[in-house]
């Protein structure tokens, strides 16, 4: 996938090759523009660089578990659900890329071509009109400069190409999209669904929407992608192309045009600002292997380095015109960083249906769109949360003291136990100014770039929202007929949700935001930011679909602007 540099001048430069960067590359290359994609990590080719994708548990030296020495050396990465012996090579190691935690923050990173699109949980939901209107209605953050109708066509554009499984549910709180056939709820999940729907008139229980090809269409076959096999080994890299990633979809598509130059091992130091022209002229890069500093030039630059690294790059892009970071006249760059609150969960048991089971490893859960404070303020906290739950048979290998060896034990491990329920929250956090990132004044990485200081934490609203979920979740499971319900607060630090957003937020006023309605920096219009850093608020939905749609929309705008300059 790596192409040799011809020269250092391009129509467009894209910083980052993950979910949003891949989309920017696709859109530019597809429309005939010579595009350079810069990736700080190594190259990863689809299929050939997924070394564990088809291995069995017994093929691993430690049966999928990491040695204690490795987990001890990586206390942050080790907290991630996807980190293990089969995926170790896709995660940033703690010691290799340090940062400063002013408050506890678990920054999960994947530095390679494709970024975290190889590791993501693949859950995708559209925002509703209530999400874009929320900040203005409730008086927090700033008003979004766009509304649902502005982005709806781009949701469709992205969904059609990526391939999204889901059901048309007709919900105002979670608009329908361009869907492939949905996954099915199992029998107990359906029972819980029916009982919740009968007990509440403001709650909807639907199958999750995920970026998996349940029935590939022609556009997916053109990408050389195949049907999802329901293996649920996705974080190893999918050799079938059954789920969407930059590696299997957007980057190969861009490469086929002949307009893509992909350069891995390229740490972006800063964006170069031309004060005479009043715009950015290029990007300064440090080669991670040779340590050589190289400059590349383009008419337009997309910053998609992932939320916190995008903030870092812009903060480090200092010039005489912008001494505090590119387009940072407002002083707000790096501020109002937000995330999703994942702390609450519940477990329960469900009697009966011991004659029922399910097939495969479905790659999505059952979900409930937010039902709190949707149309008006109803609680003593702002905004709300999504709910996810699953039901499964557990207890394979259950035994009693009398049958731990021999025939009885063999019989016991061949049958599953009873039904277990797991429920979790995905809560919206309110962007506040004190939740921020900034450059260290005295500590630098091995490439001479200041380390990022992260100061992000929970507030009172998060605690109230968590308490409400645990109460409501317990009540819903009880009404659904579950027993032995237990609630948990993980007390996990921000960051482990891997949904960090903000710092370079969109808005209408340059005094209170960094980006306009097209994701352009207010004071440097040829630089666009379309990854999580651009988000004004977080909503309750998984954010990746919105990142992709915003990127495609902004790239289309940039293309039209480039055409005007020809």
| pLDDT value of residue 403 | 56
pLDDT tens digits, one per residue of 269-309: 999 999 999 999 999 999 999 999 999 999 999 999 999 99
Task: Answer yes or no: is pLDDT of 4 > 50.
Answer: no
Q: What is the pLDDT of residue 411?
A: 72
Give the model's confidence band at 413: pLDDT under 50 very low, under 70 low, under 90 confident, else very high.
Answer: confident
**Residue 6 — pLDDT band, cuts 50, 70, 90?**
low
* In 168-292, beta strands by DSSP E: 179-180, 206-207, 260-263, 266-274, 279-287
- How is residue 315 written in tokens? 């903060």
CA-based end-to-end distance of the chain: 29
Within 8 A by CB and 6+ apart from 197, the residues are 203, 204, 205
**What does the pLDDT read at residue 402?**
56
User: 3-state class of 420 per DSSP?
Assistant: strand
Q: What is the pLDDT of residues 246-272, one digit of tens each?
A: 999 999 999 999 999 999 999 999 999
Average pLDDT over residues 325-349: 98
**Separation CA 375–CA 294 (nearest Å):** 52
pLDDT tens column, 472-497: 999 999 999 999 999 999 999 999 99
Strand, helix or coil for residue 403: helix
CATH class of the domain comprising 9-123+243-339+433-454+500-565: alpha beta
**Beta-carbon contacts of residue 202 (< 8 Å; ≥ 6 apart):** 371
pLDDT bucket at 565, cuts 50 / 70 / 90: confident
**Each residue of 415-444: pLDDT tens digit?**
888 999 999 999 999 999 999 999 999 999
Q: Could you write out the three-class secondary structure of 28-87?
A: HHHCCCCEEEECCCECCCCCCCCCCCCCCHHHCCCCCCCCHHHHHHCCCHHHCCCCCCCC
Residue 2 has pLDDT above 50, yes or no: no
Q: How far is CA 212 from CA 165, 252, 391, 413, in A?
A: 6, 18, 20, 32
Q: 294-298, 350-354, 392-396, 557-561: which range is least confident on average?
A: 392-396
Q: With pLDDT > 70 as the criterion, what percentage of the chain qualifies? A: 97
Give CATH 3.50.50.60 domain extents, the chain.
9-123+243-339+433-454+500-565
Structure tokens at 198: 């009968």
pLDDT over 90 (residue 397)? no
133 near 147, Cβ under 8 Å? Answer: yes
170: left (phi over 0), alpha (psi -120 to 50) or beta: left
pLDDT bucket at 115, cuts 50 / 70 / 90: very high
pLDDT tens for residues 196-218? 999 999 999 999 999 999 999 99
Average pLDDT over residues 233-255: 98
Structure tokens, 513: 């935001």
Averaged pLDDT for residues 360-381: 97
Over the stretch 42-72, which tens digit does the pLDDT of each residue have?
999 999 999 999 999 999 999 999 999 999 9
Average pLDDT, the chain: 95
pTM of the model: 0.96
- pLDDT at position 98: 96
Mean pLDDT value of segment 161-184: 98
Look at residues 126, 362, 120, 364 and name the one whose alpha carbon lies nearest to residue 247.
120
Q: Do residues 280 and 301 touch, judged by C-beta distance below 8 A?
A: yes
Q: Give the DSSP letter of residue 405.
A: S
Residue 312: name the closest of 296, 295, 334, 279 by CA.
334
In our burial notation (b when 16+ CB lie closer than 10 A, e otherwise), range 368-400 reads: bbbbbbbeeeeeebbbbbbbbbbbbbeeeeeee
Whether residue 514 contacts residue 332, with contact meaning beta carbons closer than 8 Å, is answered with yes
Q: How far is CA 225 from CA 35, 80, 251, 363, in A?
A: 24, 27, 13, 17
236: left (phi over 0), alpha (psi -120 to 50) or beta: alpha
Is the pLDDT score of 3 beyond 50? no
Q: What are phi and psi of 410, to 5 degrees?
A: -60, -40
Closest of 536, 509, 508, 525 to residue 560, by C-alpha:
525
With DSSP H G I counted as helix, E B as strand and the rest as coil, what are the percentages for the chain, rounded to 5? 25, 25, 50
Question: What one-character DSSP code corresponds to residue 88?
Answer: G
Measured between alpha carbons, how far is 552 from 112 in angstroms, rounded to an integer? Answer: 22
Three-class HEC string of 365-397? CEEECCCCCCCCCCCCCCCCEEEEEEEEECCCC
Q: What is the DSSP letter of 524?
A: E
């Amino acid at each position: 996938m790596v192409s040799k540099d011809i020269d250092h001048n391009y129509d467009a430069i894209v910083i980052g090759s993950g979910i949003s960067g891949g989309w920017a590359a696709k859109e530019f290359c597809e429309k005939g523009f010579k595009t350079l994609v810069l990736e700080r990590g190594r190259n990863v080719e689809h299929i050939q660089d997924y070394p564990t994708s088809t291995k069995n548990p017994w093929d691993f030296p430690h049966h999928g578990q990491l040695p204690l020495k490795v987990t001890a050396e990586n206390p942050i990465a080790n907290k991630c659900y996807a980190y293990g012996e089969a995926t170790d090579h896709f995660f940033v190691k703690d010691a290799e890329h340090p940062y400063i935690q002013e408050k506890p923050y678990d920054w999960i990173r994947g530095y390679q071509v494709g970024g975290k699109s190889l590791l993501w949980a693949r859950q995708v939901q559209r925002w509703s009109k209530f999400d874009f209107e929320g900040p203005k209605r409730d008086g927090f953050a700033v008003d979004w400069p766009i509304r649902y109708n502005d982005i709806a066509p781009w949701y469709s554009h992205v969904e059609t190409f990526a391939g999204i499984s889901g059901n048309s549910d007709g919900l105002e709180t979670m608009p329908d999209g361009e869907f492939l056939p949905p996954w099915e709820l199992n029998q107990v999940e359906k029972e819980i669904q029916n009982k919740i729907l009968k007990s509440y008139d403001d709650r909807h229980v639907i199958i999750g929407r995920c970026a998996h090809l349940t029935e590939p269409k022609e556009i997916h076959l053109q990408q050389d992608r195949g049907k999802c096999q329901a293996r649920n080994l996705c974080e190893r890299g999918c050799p079938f192309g059954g789920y969407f990633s930059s590696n299997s979809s957007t980057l190969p598509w861009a490469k086929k045009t002949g307009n893509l130059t992909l350069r891995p091992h390229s740490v972006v130091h800063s964006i170069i600002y031309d004060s005479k022209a009043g715009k950015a002229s290029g990007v300064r890069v440090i080669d991670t292997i040779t340590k050589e500093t190289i400059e590349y030039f383009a008419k337009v630059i997309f910053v998609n380095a992932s939320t916190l690294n995008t903030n870092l790059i812009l903060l480090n892009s200092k010039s005489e015109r912008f001494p505090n970071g590119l387009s940072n006249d407002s002083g707000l760059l790096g501020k109002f960083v937000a995330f999703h609150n994942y702390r609450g969960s519940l477990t329960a048991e469900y009697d009966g249906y011991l004659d029922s089971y399910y097939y495969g490893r479905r790659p999505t859960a059952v979900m409930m769109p937010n039902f709190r404070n949707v149309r008006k303020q109803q609680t003593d906290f702002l905004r709300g949360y999504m709910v996810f739950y699953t039901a499964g048979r557990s207890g394979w290998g259950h035994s009693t003291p009398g049958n731990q060896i021999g025939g009885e034990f063999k019989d016991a491990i061949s049958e599953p136990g009873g039904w277990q329920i797991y429920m979790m929250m995905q809560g919206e956090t309110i962007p506040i100014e004190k939740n921020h990132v900034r450059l260290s004044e005295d500590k630098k990485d091995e490439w001479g770039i200041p380390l990022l200081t992260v100061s992000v934490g929970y507030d009172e609203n998060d605690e109230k929202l968590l308490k409400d979920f645990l109460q409501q979740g317990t009540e819903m499971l009880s009404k659904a007929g579950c027993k032995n319900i237990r609630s948990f607060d993980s007390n996990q630090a921000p960051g482990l949700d891997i949904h960090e957003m903000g710092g370079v937020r969109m808005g209408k006023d340059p005094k209170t935001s960094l980006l306009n309605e097209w994701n352009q920096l207010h004071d440097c219009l040829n630089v666009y930011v379309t990854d999580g850093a651009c988000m004004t608020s977080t909503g309750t939905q998984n954010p990746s679909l919105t990142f992709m749609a915003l990127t495609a929309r902004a790239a289309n705008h940039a293309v039209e602007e480039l055409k005007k300059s020809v």
